[in-house]
Structure 1
Amino acid sequence: MSLNSILNIANSGLQTAQQQLRVVSDNVSNVNTPGYIRKIAEQNSLTTQGVGSGVEVASIRLATDRFLQAASLNAGAEAARQGVRYELYDRIQSLFGDPGGDSGFFSQIDGIFSSFAASAEGPTSGARRQDTIFKTQAVFDEATRISRQIQAVREDADGRVQTAVEKVNGLLQQIETLNTEIARATVVNGDATGSQTQQARLVDELSSLLDVQVSQRSVGGVSIRTGAGIQLAGNGAATLEYQRASTVNAESSFGDIYVIEKGGTQRALADGLQSGEIKGLLELRDKEAPATAERLGELVTRVADELNRAHNANAAVPAPTTLTGRNVGQALDTALTGFTGKTTIAVVNPTTGALTTRADIVFSGATLTINGTASTPANFLTDLNTALGGAATATFTNGSLKITAAGANGVAIADDPTTPSNKAGRGFSHYFGLNDLVSTDRPALFDAGLTTTSQHGFTPGETVTLRIAGETGSRIRDVEVAVPAGTGTVRELITALNDMTTGVGRYGSFALDASGEMKFTPIGDPAPKLSVVGDTTTQVPSGVSVTELFGIGGGVRASRADGFKVRTDIQQSPSKLALAQLNLSAAAGTAALSAGDGRGALLLANAGQVASKFSSAGNSPGGSLSVSRYASELSGEIGGTAAALKTRQASAQALATEADARQSSHEGVNLDEELVLMTTYQQAFNASARLIQAAQDMYDTLVGMVR
C-alpha cells in the first residue's frame, strides 16, 4: 500500500469523524427543542478494486420510525377529534344548568306544575296567578335562550371548520414546497434533515386537523393521503374548498367540504374521514348538537301541548268574549273529518256565569250533528252559526277557527265527560287551540290526525327539495319533489315523495302513522339521513309549507323550541287564566262558572304526569310517557353524553401522550448516547490524525534514506 493510499484513508477518516461530530453537536444543542428529531450520519467503507480505501458519510438522515410516527399521528388526530367534541358539548350541557338545582331548566319545568297546584288552593288570588304566569313564561324564555345558544355553538363549530380548512390548505402548500427542497437535496446527496424536521412538524399539525396516511417518496419528501385514499400532497398540493353557511339555525343546510386533487378531481372530504379536529367539529355540528336541539324542541312542544290540553278543558271567569284558535294547517272540513265524541260551545253571562245559549256537537267520523240537527264538515260553520242564533259567531280564516260572543257575553267550551270529543288524542277545543295557554309562531304539532284520503291543500307544481346524506353527513343526492296533479290527497303526495326516480324511494319511504304524523323510514345500513334544503310550497288556506305541516326533517322540529310563549292577553290580564271548569249540568239560570272553582288549576298541576305521545327526536325513539319523565330522561341523556365525551377525550389524550412519548423516546436526543458517540468519533478523529502523522514519519524516513 502506498503512502498516498494511507494518507487518503486517513484523510477520509478525518473528514468523516468531523461530519459525525457535527451531527452529534447538532443533536446535543437541540436536546430541549420541541419536535426536534435526532440526526444519524450513515457511515460506509470505501473500496478500490477490492481493497479498502477509507470511509465516508453516505447520508445524514433522521432517526424516524414510520410505525411510531403513524401511531402518533393517528392518536393525535383522535385526541383532537374527541377534544373538540367534548369542549363544545360541555358548553351545550352548561346551558341547561344544574339538573339538581332550583334554577336549572328541568327544575323550572317542575316549578310550573307546582305553581298551578298552589293556584288551585286560591284560584281568585291575583298574586298566585301572576306567579304562575311568570314561571310558565320563564320556562319558555329559557327554552328560547337554550335553543338559540345551541345554534350559536353550531355556528361556532361551522366557523372553526372554515378556519381549519384554510389552515389545512396552508399546511399542504408548505409541505409540498418542502417536498421540492428535500428532493433537490436528495439528488445531490445533500443534507435535507432541516427541511425534513420542519416538514415532520407540519405533518403533525396537519394530522391534528384530519387523519392522514404518510408514506416516504423515493425521491425524498412525503406523500400524504386521507383515510379514504384522497391524495393531499406528494404530487402537488390538493386544495380544500368549503363555503360556510351565511346564517346558522336549526334548519340550516350545510355544504360539503371538497378536496380538489392536483389533477382537478373533486371528492367529498367527509367520505372516509375518521378523526381529527374537522371530524369532531362536523360530528358536533351535525349530530350531537342537532340531536339535543330536537329533543329540546320535542320536550318544550309537549310541555306546551299538555298545558294547552288542560287549559282548553277549563274556562276563565268571566269567560272571554272571543276564543281564537291556532293555525291548524288545514282546511276546516279536513280538520273536522275524523272527530268522534261530544263537545259543547256555550255562551255565558259575564255577571252570573249562567249558560244563555249552547251548541251541542256530536261527531262521528265524516258526519256530525249540532243540537240534534245533521250537518257535515263542509257545512259546519253555517250550521253552527244557525244553532247559536246570533248569540255568537264562528269564522275560519287562514287555518284558524274563531268564535266571538255577541255583546258582553263570554264563550266557553267543554267536552262531554263521558264521551269527550277526540281526534289524534285531542279534544275539539284543544285541537283547534281555541283556549290555548301557550301560543307559538309556527306549526308545532305534526300528529294532526290526517289520513291518506285527506286533502293536502298544496298547489300542483310547487316543490320541496330533500337532501339524502350518508352516515358521515356528506351529500348523496338532492331530490326535488313536485306536488303532483290529481285529486289533492295526502296519498298522492306521499306517492310522489316515495317515487323511485323523482322521489326518495331508493333511500327510504314516507308514511303516516296512526295519529297522522308523517315519518320517514330509511333503507340501508348505515341508514341515510334526510333533511330539507328548500321548500316553495304554500298551503291554502293556512299558508304553511309541506315541511311545516308534516315536520319533515329534524331542522323544523328542532326550531320549535324558541317559538313558544304564554298568550299575550293572559300575560297582560291574569284574570283570563282559565282555572275553572264549565258545568254543563247546571240548571237554567244558575251559575255554570264560578270564580272560586279551582278544579282547572288542579288539572294544569297534573299535566306534567299525564302520559303524552312523544315523537322520535334525536336519539330518542319517543313513545308514551309523561312530560316530567321525558324531561328527566333528557336531563340524564345530556349529562351522560357529556360524561361519555369527557371519558373519550381523556382516553384519547392518554393514548396520544403515550404514543408521543414512545416516538420521542426513539426519535429524541439522549445525552448519554450522544456522549458515547462523541467520544467514539473523537477517538476516530485522533486515530486518523495519528495515521497521518505516521505516514509523514514514514515519508521523512524514506527521504532521509534516499539522501
Structure 2
Amino acid sequence: MSISGLDSALSGLKIAQQQLSVISNNVANVSTPGYSRKILPQQTVAIEGQTVGVKANAVVRNVDMYLARDYWTQVSAVTFQDTTATYMNQIQQFHGAPDAETSISAKITALQDAFLSLANQPDSEVGMQAAVSAAQSTARKFNDYSNLMTQMRNDTQRELSEAVSQVNTLLNQVASLNKEIKSNMAQGRTVAQQQDQRDAAIEELSGLIEISFFTRGDGVLVVQTNEGLQLADDTVNPMYFNPTQQTTLTYYPASAAGLYVGGNPNEVRVSFDITQRDPGGKIGALLAMRDETLPAYQAQLDELAHKTALRLSEQGLNLFTDQFGNIPANTDPVPNPPGPLTPVPYVGFSAIMQVNPAILNDNSLIRSGTVVGSAVQEGSNEVLRRVAEFAFGNIAYQEAQGNVDIRVAGIPDTLQNIFGLNPQAQMRGDVNIHNLSLGVPLNAAPDHPFLPISGPPLLDDFTIRIDEGGANDTGDITIDLTAVDTAYPTPPSTSGAQALVDYLNNDVFPTLAPPLDTTVTASLNQFGQLMINAQHDIGIGVGNMGEDGLEYLGLKAGTTQAVDPYFTVQVGQDDPVRVSISPGDTETDLLTKLNNIPGIQASIDPATGFLSFRPGPGFGGDIRIVDGTILSAGGNTPSLELLGSASPVVSVAHAPFRETQLGAGLQVSSGLPGTLTLEEYSQRMISNQVAEVNATTAKQADEASLRDLLNTQLLNESGVNLDEELSHLIVVQSAFAASAKTITAIDEMFQQLLNAF
C-alpha cells in the first residue's frame, strides 16, 4: 500500500471528526430558536486523475429561501391583523355588550324615550330634569367616544415611532451581518451562523414591515420594502418618522406625520414617503388605523352628532350645541362657485357637543323650545311631540306644495275671478215642503187659517233681497204665491213647492241684473227643504205673510251671509285657522294671510308662481289642510284650485347624512347610507364596527394558521431532525471506523516492513 493510501485514510478520519462536530452541534441546538441544520460538504481530492483523499468545504445551511420568504410574508400579515385587532377590540369594549345599553345607540334611544315620557306630562319638573339628564348622558357618550379615537390615533403615533426605531436597529444588524458574510465568503469561511442570525433579524423585521429581498453573489441579502424600495444591503437606508400630536382636525399629509425611507426629508435630498403605500406588518396596521379606520369612525360619529343636533333644532329645540350655544351649519364641503375644497364646519363636533347652556339654566326650555317668538302655550306638548315624532323619525316636516301659477296681481285680476272661487250664500229652509198643497192652490191652504179660502184680499206674499247694501243690491223682490199658482197651476200630482222653485228659477232670478241672473238659483234638497244659492247675501222678508206664513214655507226672516271660499290650515295640534279667498285678493294677499298664521311660513316661487307653505319658521312638524264646503265654479275645492292637487301636503325628509368628502381632509367616506333615522344610523354604525372587529378576528385566526403551517414546513425542511442526525451519525461513525482500520492496517504493514530490515 502506498503512502497515498495513508493520506486518504487520514483525510477521511479528519473529515469524519469534522462531521461528528457538526452533527453534535446540530443535536445540541435542536431546540434553539432560529437555528438551522448545518451540513459539512466534502469533495474528493485527486492528483493527475488519481484519488488521494477527501477534503471538507465550509459548513453550509440547509434552508429553502423561497419557503422562508413565504413565511416572513405571512409573519407580516399576522402582525398586521394582531395590531388591528388590538385597536378594534378597544372600540368594541367602549360600545359594551348589547344588553348593557351603554352604547351611543342606546343613549339616543333613551333620549327619545325621555321625550315621549315628558310629552305625556309636559309640565312635570321631574320629567324635564330626566330629559335634560338623558341629553347630558348622550352628549358625554359622544365626547368620550371622540376622545377615545383621538387617544387611539396618538397611541398609533407612539407605537409607530417605536416600531420605526426597531426597524432601523434591525436594519443595522442586517447590514452588519451582511458585511461579515461578504468578508467570510471571500475568504472561504463558513457563514452559516451569521446567516442564521440574519434570518432571525429578518423575521423580527417582517413583523414590523412587509419586506421583499434578493441575495447577491457576494452573499449579501438585499432587504427592500414590499414595493421594492431598498432598506439595507451592507449599508442602511433608514426609515424616518417624526410623530405629531393628533386631534379631530389633523390628517395626513397636512398635519399627520409621514413615514419615509431614506431619512428626514428636510435633511436628505432623496427620501421616499411610503405612508400610503401599504407597507404591511405592524407599521402598516398602525398607519391604516391612524389615517383610515379611526378617521372614518370619527367622521361617522361627527355625522351622527351633527345630525342629532340639527334634527332637534329643526323642530324648534337647540338641545345640543357647542360651548357657545351654536350648532355648526350643514354647509357642503364644495364651495359655490367651485373652488378649493373646504371641510364641513362640523368636523370634530362630537368632541365638543354639549347640552345647550340655556337649557341647563332653564330646564323648561326643553318643553317650550328655544325658537324666539314661538313659545308654546303653558302645558302644551307640541315641541316635545315634534321632537319625538319628527327629529327621531324619517320626516323633517310636512309642506303644502303647489303646482299652479297663482300670480294674478299683474294681469290685473283676482284669485276669485281667475280660479272661479266665488263667495256663496246658501239659504236653507227647515221644513220638508215637498208635498205642500198637493191638489189645491199654493195660496189656499185649509189647514192654515192665515190663508183663508174666502174672505178679504189674500195676504200671501214674502220678499227676497240679494246683496243688500252691495254693488248688486236688488232691493226687495216680492214673491206672490197667487202669481206662483197662476204661472204654475198645481194639479193633484204636482207639488206646490216645486211650483215655487220653478217660478223663482224661471220667472224671477233670470230677470235680475248680471251677474245675479245666472248666479242665483233655487232648489229642493233631498229632505224637501227649499234652498236658495247665491254669490251674495240672501235676505228673506216677511212681506204680507207674516212670520206664520214664512214658517208655513219653512223660512225665517233674516239674512244669510255670503261666505268667501276658504280652506282651513292646522299646524300640529294648534287650533285650525281659516284662510278665506276674499273678493279682490291677489296672490300677495293670500301670502300675507298665510304668513300671519302662527307657525306657518309661506312663499311663492318667483320663477313659477307656485305656492308652498310649511310649519315654521324655525321648526318642522306636520300640517293639515281641510277645505270648506264652498267649491269653485269648476266644482273643485279651493286648495285644489290654488295648489293643483287634491293631496298637496307632502312629507319632506331630513337632510341626509353625508357619505363622502368627510373629515378634515375630505378624504373619508362613512360607508353608511345617508337616508336613515338617528337610531338607525347609530345602530348601523355600531353593527358595522362590530362586524369589522369580527372580520378582523376571523382573518387574524386564518393568517395565524397559515403562518404556523409555513413555520412547521420550514422547520421540517431546515430544522434539526434528531432521527436524521443520529442516522447520519452512524454513517459518520462507520466511516471513521473504516478510516481508523485502514490506518491500523497500514501501520501493521509498515511495522512488518521495518522488521524485515
Q: Deviations over 1:136-193 (max 9, x none)?
A: 1111111001101111111111111111111010001111111111222222222322
| Mapped contact 1:182–1:220 kept (Cα < 8 A) | yes
CA contact (8 A) 2:309 2:327 kept: no
| Residue matched to 2:361 | 572
What residue in structure 1 maps to residue 377 of structure 2? 594
Matched with 2:658 is 615
Structure 1 residues 619 and 703, CA gap change in structure 2 (3 angstroms): same
Question: What is residue 290 of structure 1 aligned with on the other side?
Answer: 295
Aligned equivalents of 2:192 and 2:373: distance in 1?
93
What residue number does 2:274 align with?
Answer: 269
Q: Distance in 2 between matches of 1:450 and 1:181?
A: 58
Q: 2:350 maps to which residue? A: 561
Q: 2:262 aligns with which of 241, 247, 260?
A: 260
Residue 271 of structure 1 and its aligned partner are, at CA, apart by: 5.9
| Deviation of 1:311 (Å) | 3.0
1:100-179 equivalences in 2 (<5 Å): 100-179=99-178
Q: Which amino acid aligns with 1:148?
A: N
Question: Hey, what does 1:340 align to over in structure 2?
Answer: none
Alpha-carbon distance between aligned partners in 2 of 1:583 and 1:259, rounded to the nearest angstrom: 59
My pick for the range that moved more, 696-705 or 120-129, is 696-705
Q: Does 1:202 align with 2:85?
A: no
Establish whether residue 635 from structure 1 lines up as the match of residue 419 from structure 2: no
- Residue 672 (structure 1) aligns with: 723
Partner of 2:386 in structure 1? 603
> Judging changes above 3 Å, is the alpha-carbon distance between structure 1 residues 165 and 49 closer, same or farther for their aligned structure 2 residues?
same
CA shift, 1:305, in A, is 1.2
Deviation at residue 445 of structure 1 after TM alignment: 4.3
Whole-angstrom distance in 2 between the partners of 1:122 and 1:653: 58
3-state SS, counterpart of residue 55 of structure 1: strand
Cα 1:30–1:580 change in 2 (3 A) is: closer
How large is the RMSD of aligned CA atoms in angstroms?
2.5
2:701 match: 650
Q: How far apart are the structure 2 equivalents of 1:220 and 1:593?
A: 86
Report what 1:700 is aligned to.
Answer: 751
**Partner of residue 319, structure 2:** 437
Q: What CA distance in whole angstroms lies between the structure 1 residues aligned with 2:17 and 2:333?
A: 89
Query: Residue 661 of structure 1 is aligned with which of 692, 712, 727?
Result: 712
Contact 2:329 2:346 in 1 (8 A): no
- Whichever residue aligns with residue 440 of structure 1, its letter is D
CA contact (8 A) 1:438 1:564 kept: yes
Native 8 Å contact 2:250 2:256 kept in 1: no
The match for 2:15 is 16
Cα shift at 1:572? 2.6
* C-alpha distance in 2 between matches for 1:573 and 1:14: 101
Question: Contact between 1:307 and 1:604, CA under 8 Å: does it hold in 2?
Answer: yes
Provide, for residues 83-102 of structure 1, a one-character-per-residue CA deviation record: whole Å limited to 9, x for no partner: 10111122122222234432
2:213–2:224 contact (8 Å) kept in structure 1 = yes
Q: Is the 8 A contact 1:226 1:273 kept in 2?
A: no
Say which structure is richer in strand.
Answer: 1
CA distance in 1 between partners of 2:72 and 2:196 (Å): 15
For 1:72, the equivalent position in structure 2 comes to: 71
Task: Return the offset for 1:217.
Answer: 2.7
| CA apart distance, 1:43 | 1.6
Matches within 5 A, 1:229-268: 229-252=228-251, 253-260=255-262, 265-268=270-273
Unaligned runs of 5+ in 2: 396-653, 663-668
Task: State the match for 2:313 in structure 1.
Answer: 308
Alignment match, 1:480: none
Residues 458-490 of structure 1 show CA distances to partners (whole Å, capped at 9, x for unaligned) of xxxxxxxxxxxxxxxxxxxxxxxxxxxxxxxx4
CA contact (8 A) 2:240 2:263 kept: no
1:206 & 1:583 partners in 2: Cα distance? Answer: 64
Q: Alpha-carbon deviation of 1:601?
A: 1.2
Give me the whole-angstrom Cα distance separating, in 2, the residues matched to 1:287 and 1:583.
42
Q: CA deviation at 1:437?
A: 2.1
Describe the SS at the equivalent of 1:594.
coil
Aligned counterpart, 1:447: 330
User: Which letter maps to 1:109?
Assistant: I
Cα-to-partner distance string for 1:349-385 (whole Å, 9 max, x where unaligned): xxxxxxxxxxxxxxxxxxxxxxxxxxxxxxxxxxxxx
d(CA) in 2 for partners of 1:687, 1:583? 110
Query: What is the aligned partner in structure 2 of residue 384 from structure 1?
Result: none
Residues 135 and 72 of structure 1: is their aligned pair in 2 closer, same or farther, counting only changes over 3 Å? Answer: same
Single out whichever of 648-657 and 441-450 deviates more from structure 2: 441-450
Structure 2: how far apart are the matches of 1:271 and 1:105?
Answer: 32
- CA gap 1:446/1:702 in 2 versus in 1, 3 angstroms: farther
SS state at 1:574 partner? coil
SS of residue matched to 2:52: strand
Whole-Å separation in 2 of the counterparts to 1:34 and 1:159: 30
Structure 2 residue 286 is the aligned partner of structure 1 residue 281: yes
Q: Is the 8 A contact 1:46 1:53 kept in 2?
A: yes
Report the identity percentage. 26
For 1:676 and 1:243, how far apart are their aligned partners in 2? 56
Contact 1:80 1:208 in 2 (8 A): yes
User: What one-letter code is carried by the residue in structure 2 that aligns with 1:260?
Assistant: G
**What SS does structure 2 have at the residue aligned with 1:244?**
coil
SS in 2 for 1:241: strand
Contact kept, 8 Å, 2:320 with 2:327, in 1: the verdict is no
Residues in 2 aligned to 1:57 and 1:19: alpha-carbon distance in whole angstroms: 8
State the SS of the aligned residue for 1:47.
Answer: strand
Contact 1:210/1:273 (8 A) holds in 2: no
Task: Check the 8 A contact 2:309/2:320 in 1, yes or no.
Answer: yes
| Greater shift in the superposed pair: 673-682 or 600-609 | 600-609
1:123–1:579 CA contact under 8 A, matched in 2: no
User: Size of the alignment, in residue pairs?
Assistant: 482
Higher RCO (C-alpha under 8 Å, 6+ residues apart): 1
Cα distance in 2 between the residues matched to 1:140 and 1:444: 14
1:295 deviation in Å? 0.3
The residue matched to 1:311 in structure 2 has which SS?
coil
Shift of 1:622: 4.2
> What is the alpha-carbon distance in structure 2 between the residues aligned to residue 447 and residue 305 of structure 1?
8
User: Contact 1:172–1:232 (CA<8 Å) still a contact in 2?
Assistant: yes
**What does residue 218 of structure 1 align with?**
217
SS in 1 for 2:380: coil
Shift in Å at residue 579 of structure 1?
3.7
Return the alpha-carbon distance in structure 1 between the equivalents of residues 696 and 735 of structure 2: 57
Q: Partner amino acid for 1:648?
A: K
Q: For residue 609 of structure 1, give the secondary structure of its aligned residue in structure 2.
A: coil
Deviation at 1:203, TM superposition (A): 0.6
| 2: CA distance, partners of 1:580 / 1:685 | 101
| 1:379-422 deviation digits (Å, cap 9, x = unpaired) | xxxxxxxxxxxxxxxxxxxxxxxxxxxxxxxxxxxxxxxxxxxx
Indicate the residue corresponding to 1:688 in structure 2: 739
How far off is 1:222 after superposition?
1.5
Which SS does the other structure have where 1:674 is aligned? helix
Find the counterpart in structure 2 of residue 369 from structure 1.
none
TM-score normalised to structure 1 length: 0.65
> Alignment partner of 2:97: what SS?
coil
